[in-house]
């Protein structure tokens, strides 16, 4: 059974750092494209970052230079390192799987809430 389980969210002060994890089971993370998508409270969905099966990486302009996506193949886990956090980064962060770069997000985790506030 395919599962994605996010963790690492919490309350953090502006300017702080946080690392989110997404543990996968039922498939091999490195064989797929993996992405992070966020949703601010009461708002819509926003794509954040993606890592290709071949290792290529892209980020949304809103997080470029501050967030870094990575994966640990030995742990079958996806990560999102978030630095210089701002209030507008407050959101539920979902990890999601794609079969290719021009494919939809076919499976999502349950999300982890990040709250940036002093």
Partner 1 sequence: EIVLTQSPGTLSLSPGERATLSCRASQSVSTSYLAWYQQKRGQAPRLLIYGASSRATGIPDRFSGSGSGTDFTLTITRLEPEDFAVYYCQQYGSFWTFGQGTKVEIK
CB of 14 to partner 1, least distance (A): 26
Sites of contact with partner 1 (CB under 8 A): 35, 44-47, 50, 58, 94, 98, 102-111
3-state secondary structure of 118: coil
* Residue 117 beta carbon to partner 1: minimum distance, rounded to whole angstroms: 21
For residues 37 and 82, which CB has a smaller minimum distance to partner 1 in the complex? 37
Task: State the Cα–Cα distance between residues 74 and 26, nearest whole angstrom.
Answer: 14
Residues 6+ apart with CB under 8 A from 79: 19, 20, 21, 22, 69, 70, 71, 72
CB atoms within 10 A of CB 23: 17
The residue (of 38 and 71) whose beta carbon lies closer to partner 1 is: 38
The minimum distance between CB 53 and partner 1, in angstroms, equals: 16
């Amino acid at each position: 059974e395919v599962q994605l389980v996010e963790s690492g969210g919490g309350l953090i002060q502006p300017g702080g750092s946080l690392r989110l994890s997404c543990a996968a089971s039922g498939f091999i993370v490195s064989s797929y494209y993996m992405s992070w998508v966020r949703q601010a409270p009461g708002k819509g969905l926003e794509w954040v970052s993606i890592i290709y099966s071949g290792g290529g990486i892209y980020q949304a302009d809103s997080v470029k230079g501050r967030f870094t996506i990575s994966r640990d193949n030995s742990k079958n886990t996806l990560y999102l390192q978030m630095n210089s956090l701002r209030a507008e980064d407050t959101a539920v962060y979902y990890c999601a799987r794609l079969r290719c770069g021009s494919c939809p997000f076919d499976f999502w985790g349950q999300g982890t809430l990040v709250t940036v506030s002093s």
